[in-house]
Structure 1
């Protein structure tokens, strides 16, 4: 009976992971660290917008409501700086990728500890685990390259059948199938990579990123339904919260102190929701990894 229970963590483990992910120190550090690339991208963009809009006699009115003509003019002006803004966006992406192993390391350390860590403990875990998480990030390119292969093959097949199709509906069917295959391949790749990270939580003796990726693949094969289900459920909850905050942010005018603070809080709630989603996913998948490890050791 114990072996069967170990093999099949239920929704109790999923709910527990989602609640355990509500660690305010970890979420606060996530928010502060993610502000670094966001600031790198936002400040140059803000200065460009300030140069375009601040000296206009209509600036106060534009701050209160959306003006389609203003957006058109701003879009045209930004298109003249697309290379510079694109370089800034690439720099922000590079910083995000460089900080990602540190964030993962904090989550791994917190999951291994089995308790709420302080700021010093979380930062130490991020530093200690950075090398392993960075190597795992490099190994994760393999599943994502497979996704690129699926996308290329799907697009090729869709184009071939579109050329031969008699009806537009037949061409649309193959296009939808290509998109569905791409989405499924991406989800499976994500499950493998996230399960590989979760393997470090489940096994404190694990040191090899290569073995971790192998365990991620093994977990997807042996616990396919629960791995995909846990991943999708946690992701759905996180994206719903982030989307709700995003819709609220769109409808809030950042004019005045109250409006500015409300808009700022809603924007940061989006980041926190995505951080919680990442933490909860790893903790949920770690419960499956622990069950597989118990089976191996029994």
Structure 2
């Protein structure tokens, strides 16, 4: 039986409030600082070694002119391997941290009261193995969705080469790109639904079985599952985008400027953490309602 739209509407604020646990969000921000620092240190060293002793250092700290940008791009080109390596390490660390964070969210969702730091950490470690398996398995459907989307874009490009007017090519390309986003979004939702299955049933250890159960959950309760998932995602991404825009337009000069820029950056990270937590809270809530 499909869940009613009323359940879907009620689940959004309920999950949003439940995910506002300061200990959970603080741990999220602290753990995500690790890959951020790995990425930032080479860039920091690049800027420091090339701009710290410039006679225009104060002005360049507020805004880079085209000459400085050109010089920095030239230096970046000579040390591109360092940045590529740092990016690869940061990505690997992020992937290794992700199951721990998912386990912490699952622990918070199952607890009758907001858990403390120690309980969240223990729960994250207890859930680490199944969440890691879900992450590894997720590469398969995500890869399939990406390849299907690329095939659609290639087909639209091939069609564009055969038509005469530019207007005839815009719609097929937009539809192909929308299809790619839709497929990747559905797969991402199915993986989170699988994580909700793992979180709700500690006896479930198979990532493949949990993912398949998550797919069935989405198919049987599309309004409650996908409706809440989409609404929470739009709110979270909108807030994170706004905070990122404010950060881009904030000059991190001086103590106040640096502190403000850092807080805006961390606020955007926390917002993404809240969004992912709220989506999982909503799905776990749906799994429990379906089981009762």
TM-score tier by shorter-chain length is: over 0.9
What CA distance in whole angstroms lies between the structure 2 residues aligned with 1:185 and 1:15?
A: 26
Q: Which shows bigger deviation, 84-93 or 208-217? A: 208-217
The aligned counterpart of 2:131 is 133
Unaligned 5+ segments in structure 1 are none
1:235 has 2:271 as partner: no
1:161 has 2:156 as partner: no
After superposition, give the CA deviation of every residue in 1:33-68 in whole Å (9 maximum; x if it has no partner): 111111111112211211111111111111123423
The aligned counterpart of 1:282 is 280
**So what's the TM-score if we normalise by structure 2?**
0.94
Unaligned 5+ segments in structure 2 are none
The aligned counterpart of 1:76 is 74
Change (3 A) 1:164 1:5: closer
Q: Return the offset for 1:142.
A: 2.2
What CA distance in whole angstroms lies between the structure 2 residues aligned with 1:287 and 1:66?
A: 49
The aligned counterpart of 1:214 is 212
- How do 1:89-100 and structure 2 match up within 5 A? 89-100=87-98
What CA distance in whole angstroms lies between the structure 1 residues aligned with 2:288 and 2:197?
A: 8
**Alignment partner of 1:180 out of 156, 178, 181:** 178
Q: Return the offset for 1:229.
A: 1.7
SS at match of 1:166: coil
**So what's the TM-score if we normalise by structure 1?**
0.92
Runs of 4+ in 1 over 4 A off after TM superposition: 3-8
After superposition, give the CA deviation of every residue in 1:163-191 in whole Å (9 maximum; x if it has no partner): 22122212222111110110110111111
Q: Which shows bigger deviation, 194-203 or 172-181? A: 194-203
The aligned counterpart of 1:118 is 116
The aligned counterpart of 1:292 is 290
Change (3 A) 1:5 1:234: closer
- How do 1:242-261 and structure 2 match up within 5 A? 242-261=240-259
Q: How many residues align?
A: 292
What CA distance in whole angstroms lies between the structure 2 residues aligned with 1:83 and 1:4?
A: 52
Q: Return the offset for 1:4.
A: 8.1
Is residue 28–residue 273 contact of structure 2 (8 Å, CA) maintained in 1?
Answer: yes
Q: Which shows bigger deviation, 156-165 or 177-186? A: 156-165
What CA distance in whole angstroms lies between the structure 2 residues aligned with 1:200 and 1:115?
A: 20
Is residue 14–residue 284 contact of structure 1 (8 Å, CA) maintained in 2?
Answer: yes
What CA distance in whole angstroms lies between the structure 2 residues aligned with 1:193 and 1:180?
A: 20
What RMSD over aligned residues (CA atoms) do the two structures have, in Å?
A: 1.8
